[in-house]
């Protein structure tokens, strides 16, 4: 482990050892990211309070796994952030809040933009109001999205055969920084962007301790990916099940991948440094070293599984970016964090988890053992 990696790991462990008796509240806590954060916290003896409406496929499995592993360190309340009366008493008890509850798919936001707004914008405002009016005002870390930058039409890219790369050398070397102008595109981009700005402004106007993570593509265990969200897991599930994968656009669009354990490290460091990073947004992802195009991911799956998944193509989708890679330098400078898990190791780990989950008593459908050779 490098010196920087050891430093961030030690800082995260020190934070866990300094756990508080009051629970950490995670909204959307039974989801993929919430489950991984809750597991890390509870493994260190920190009580965790999960708030989730359980409407997303697979989250019941995550909740069963967490309670089975950690017992009474995991407390669950079913509810929705759109109901502020349900949120307020939970915030009052919390030592910190991680707000992950959201409508997460661009496609769903186009189908029902009102619901998208209510969940993402109004739900976040309710959480902020619950914190503002509480007696303890716990710190908040909010997960936003790179979609707040829109489809980046002004970023010139060149086709290198299997991927797009920025023409600008600095952008290619470092990725997209927080200096990129906001340009909300799609109802999802608008609702998450609205929430993003409210979280920052409540720190400025009311003195709350808040930070925003504008996240790229997160992947790892406990992710039940779909075509609309969690595409790395979705690709793996389809490949392991001998099903074809649809690529929207030409498959050369590039994203940076961040393994979920690295993201959890970042969450813990954000909580540790919340006083110094408050009222700031940070681009969080794997960075240029962990960037990959959709076509390149298919080739990686071929290397791991022994054959390339079958593919069909469809048209570009609203707001899709040909190139988005996070410049994580701002958060690195503030906390010492950097990703430690590479794409090959992370995707292999997710594959192994999916195969193991398909054989567990709580079965994961549509994953076969065919590719385990």
Residue in the block written with tokens 């567990």: 360
Question: Which pairing describes strands 157-159 and 164-166: parallel, antiparallel, or unpaired?
Answer: antiparallel
The reply to whether 188 belongs to the active site is yes
Q: How many CA atoms lie within 13 A of 265 on its CB side?
A: 25
User: Measured in whole angstroms, how far is the alpha carbon of residue 141 from the centre of its chain?
Assistant: 12
How many residues comprise the chain? 373
Single out the catalytic residue among 188, 198, 202, 324: 188
- What is the distance between the alpha carbons of residues 67 and 39, in angstroms, rounded to a whole number? 10
Our CA angle for 46, 50, 54, nearest 5°, is: 150
Give per-residue burial for 239-266: e unless 16+ CB within 10 Å, then b: bbbeeebebeeebbbbbbbbbbbbbbbb
Helices 231-240 and 343-358 pack at an angle, to 10 degrees, of: 60
Distance separating alpha carbons of residues 354 and 171, to the nearest angstrom: 35
Burial of 275: CB neighbours in 10 Å, binned 0-12, 13-18, 19+? exposed
Cα-to-chain-centroid distance, residue 365: 23
Rounded Cα distance, 324 and 224, in Å:
23
CB atoms within 10 A of CB 333: 9
Q: How many CB atoms lie within 10 A of CB 36?
A: 23
CA distances from 296 to 48, 81, 254, 268 (A): 38, 38, 9, 31
296 vs 304: CA distance, rounded Å: 12
So which residues are the catalytic ones?
Answer: 188
């Amino acid at each position: 482990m490098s010196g920087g990696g050891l430093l961030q790991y030690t800082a995260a462990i020190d934070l866990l050892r300094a756990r508080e008796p009051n629970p950490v509240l995670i909204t959307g806590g039974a989801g993929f990211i919430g489950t991984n954060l809750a597991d890390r916290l509870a493994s260190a003896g920190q009580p965790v309070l999960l708030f989730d409406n359980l409407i997303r496929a697979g989250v019941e499995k995550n909740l069963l796994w967490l309670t089975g592993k950690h017992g009474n360190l995991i407390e669950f309340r079913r509810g929705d952030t759109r109901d502020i009366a349900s949120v307020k008493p939970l915030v009052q008890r919390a030592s910190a809040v991680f707000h992950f509850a959201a409508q997460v798919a661009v496609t769903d936001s186009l189908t029902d933009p009102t619901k998208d707004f209510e969940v993402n914008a109004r739900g976040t405002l309710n959480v902020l109001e619950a914190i503002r009016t509480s007696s303890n005002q716990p710190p908040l870390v909010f997960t936003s999205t790179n979609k707040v930058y829109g489809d980046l039409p002004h970023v010139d890219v060149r086709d290198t055969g299997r991927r797009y790369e920025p023409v600008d050398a600095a952008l290619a070397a470092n990725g997209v920084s927080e200096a990129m102008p906001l340009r909300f595109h799609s109802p999802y981009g608008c609702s998450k962007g609205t929430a993003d700005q409210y979280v920052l402004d409540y720190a400025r106007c009311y003195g709350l301790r808040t930070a925003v993570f504008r996240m790229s593509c997160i992947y790892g265990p406990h992710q039940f990916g779909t075509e609309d969200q969690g595409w790395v897991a979705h690709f793996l599930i389809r490949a392991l099940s001998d099903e074809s994968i649809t690529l929207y656009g030409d498959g050369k669009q590039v994203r940076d991948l961040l393994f979920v354990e690295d993201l959890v490290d970042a969450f813990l460091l954000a909580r540790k440094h919340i006083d110094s990073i408050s009222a700031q947004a940070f681009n969080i992802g794997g960075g240029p070293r962990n960037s990959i195009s959709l076509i390149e991911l298919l080739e990686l799956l071929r290397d791991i599984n022994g054959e390339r998944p079958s593919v069909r193509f469809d048209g570009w989708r609203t707001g899709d970016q040909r190139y988005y890679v996070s410049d994580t330098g701002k958060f690195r400078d503030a906390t010492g964090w950097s990703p430690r898990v590479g794409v090959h190791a992370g995707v292999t780990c997710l594959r192994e988890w999916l195969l193991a989950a398909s054989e567990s008593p709580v079965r994961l459908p549509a994953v076969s053992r065919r590719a385990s050779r």
